[in-house]
Amino acid sequence: MELKIENLSKTYSNGVQALKNISLTIPQGMFGLLGPNGAGKSSLMRTMATLQKADSGSIQMGDVDILKDTDQVREILGYLPQEFGVYPKVTSYKMLDHIASLKGVSNKGERKELVEALLNKTNLWHVKDKNLGTYSGGMKQRFGIAQALIGSPKLIIVDEPTAGLDPAERVRFHNLLSEIGENTIIILSTHIVEDVANLCKDMAIICLGEVVAQGNPTELTQRVQGKIWKKMIDKQDLDAYKAEHQVISTHLKAGRTMIHIHSEAKPDSSFEASPANLEDVYFTEITSRLQDVTV
Ligand code: ADP
């Protein structure tokens, strides 16, 4: 089953057009939705999660009309929002038990089995009797996934999940996501290219409310292969390079600045060819649309 978004648009009452005619086909497995802050990712996630309405367009998953059959959507949906509030004085065990009963798991034995399985799966068993307020960022995110998995959802939406996690917590969270399974659609929204490169077999890049690229990460990387050039420069010369070339990213290396530029041909002999990666794809797409992007 795939999720089909067609011509989705949304303008907020303040006049900001957050989604401009978005069309995307999202297959089963992990799908990465990559875009800078303000791109429209959360607006799209919230619309898919039936938390806000679109002005026009459609979202269909199998025979479920996501924008209209909201009750049905909530039965198949697991959602982990960007701002995930937890009740600080409740244990994860009690909270999961409560959410499971709200989601209709009324048999006590069945609920116990489910909650215990989720706590094990998300590696929270050892802290199941601790209040959620004492959890680290990574534990809270894993708890977020545990609650999102109640009810065996067919569609899981995860909005900016690794913001604020330390590297070890991030790896644990990624492993957990990748174990969820192939017969579920998992949409991961993020501005972190590496998360998508590591986890997703399909992806889209959105920028200023529009889809600017979609496909699989390898295929997209192939499109810019042979067009990425690098050079070590002095920081004070950066503006001059920006004026002349499409500088897609800058990285500090031993106190100097390494720039990557996108160009069909080698600009001059002082540049060196750089093997393209997904970050180059991402910055090529967004710098041509945004100015003043800092890395
Ligand atoms: P992202 O998740 O990619 O950072 P958002 O969907 O949050 O992007 O935001 C897209 C644009 O819509 C931004 O310009 C943002 O300021 C604006 N926006 C988001 N939510 C609202 C809202 N409730 N009211 C008005 N403008 C909003």
Burial annotation 146-158 (CB, 10 A radius, 16+ → b, else e): bbbbbbebbbbbb
Taking only the tens place, the pLDDT of each residue in 217-247 is: 999 999 999 999 999 999 999 999 999 999 9
pLDDT of residue 196: 94
Residue 151's pLDDT is 86
Hey, what are 43's tokens? 């607006």
pLDDT-wise least confident of 86-90, 132-136, 161-165, 268-272:
161-165
Q: Give the position of tokens 């995930």.
A: 84
Spacing of C-alpha 229 from chain mean position: 28
Q: Is the CB–ligand 1 distance for residue 15 below 6 Å?
A: no
Mean pLDDT of the 251-262 span? 92
Lowest-confidence pick of 68-72, 263-267, 268-272: 68-72
Cβ neighbours of residue 129 closer than 8 Å, sequence gap 6 or more: 91, 93
> What pLDDT is attached to residue 86?
77
- At residue 74, the pLDDT reads 84
Model confidence band, residue 61 (pLDDT cutoffs 50, 70, 90): very high
What average pLDDT does the chain have?
92
What is the per-residue pLDDT across 198-220, written as a single tens digit (0 to 9) for each?
899 999 999 999 999 999 999 99
Q: In the prediction, which pLDDT does 172 show?
A: 83
Domain ranges of the chain: 3-214, 222-294
Query: Once rounded to an integer, what is the mean pLDDT over residues 190-204?
Result: 93
CB-side exposure of 133: number of CA atoms within 13 Å? 4
- Residue from 8, 9, 33, 42 to probe ligand 1 pocket by mutation (most atoms less than 8 Å from CB): 42
CB of 146 sitting under 6 A from ligand 1: no
- Identity of the residue numbered 211: V
In the reported structure, the alpha carbon of residue 276 is separated from the centroid of ligand 1 by a whole-number distance in angstroms of 31
- Rounded distance, CA 113 to CA 23, Å? 40
Write the CB contacts of 192 (distance below 8 Å, at least 6 apart in sequence).
162
Name which residue sits closest to atom 24 of ligand 1, judged by CA: 12
Query: CATH class for domain 3-214?
Result: alpha beta
Is the CB of 81 inside a 6 Å radius of any atom of ligand 1?
Answer: no
Following DSSP, what letter does each residue of 86-155 receive, concatenated? --TTSBHHHHHHHHHHHTT---HHHHHHHHHHHHHHTT-GGGTTSBGGG--HHHHHHHHHHHHHTT--SE
- What does 38-80 look like in DSSP terms, one character per residue? TSSHHHHHHHHTTSS--SEEEEEETTEETTT-HHHHHHHEEEE
When computed from its CA atoms, the radius of gyration of the chain, rounded to whole angstroms, is 21
Tell whether the model's pLDDT for residue 294 goes beyond 50.
Answer: no
* Residues 274 and 225: beta-carbon distance below 8 Å: no
